[in-house]
Amino acid sequence: MAKDIFHDLVRDGLESEGWTITDDPYKVKFAQTNFQIDLAAEKIIAAQKDNQKIAVEIKSFLNPSAVTDFYSALGQFLSYRLVLKQVEPERILYLAIPLDTFEQFFQSAFAQLAINEYQLKLIIYDSEKGGLTQWIN
């Protein structure tokens, strides 16, 4: 599976925020099915003396139709979250999306409805300047 065009940009952004990348890609097996999520990362939270674990699926949203890209991203996200719930329930899944897509498509009534209904966790990255601009839980 080819890496998304902004894979390294998101990876660098996570590392600059103190995350340790533990898997790139993060391979998960459930029963006879293999899954490959873009990244797995951990961050030690000093106050709790505990590890916070995340997995990140990175999307570029480069197709002419943001809706088509959204359908694909949502299907992957929900499938990965379902599997993670079984094999590693403490790991939180995030969908990483570009800032321009967030501002243009993800503010629409439909996208907001889907974010709330499916409880999507998002990482917004700046595809032009680099870096992570926002985390939405």
pLDDT tens digits, 49-74: 568 899 999 999 999 999 999 999 99
Is residue 6 in some structural domain? no
Determine if the pTM surpasses 0.85. Answer: yes
Determine the structural domain holding residue 90 and report its residue range.
12-50+63-96+106-125+132-136
Q: What are the structure tokens assigned to 40, written together?
A: 């797995």
Q: For the CA atoms of 41, 27, 8, 64, what is the dihedral angle to 10 degrees?
A: -120
Number of domains in the chain: 1
Question: Tens digit of pLDDT for each residue in 77-125?
Answer: 999 999 999 999 999 999 999 999 999 999 999 999 999 999 999 999 9
- Please report whether residue 3 resides in a domain: no
- What CATH number does the domain containing 42 carry? 3.40.1350.10
pLDDT of residue 44: 75
Identify whether 69 is part of a domain.
yes
Residue 73 lies in a domain: yes
Q: Is residue 87 part of a domain?
A: yes
Phi, psi of 8 (to 5 degrees): -65, -35
**Residue that the structure tokens 């300047």 belong to:** 129
Q: Is residue 58 a part of any domain in this protein?
A: no
What totals of helices (H) and strands (E) does the chain contain, helices first? 4, 8
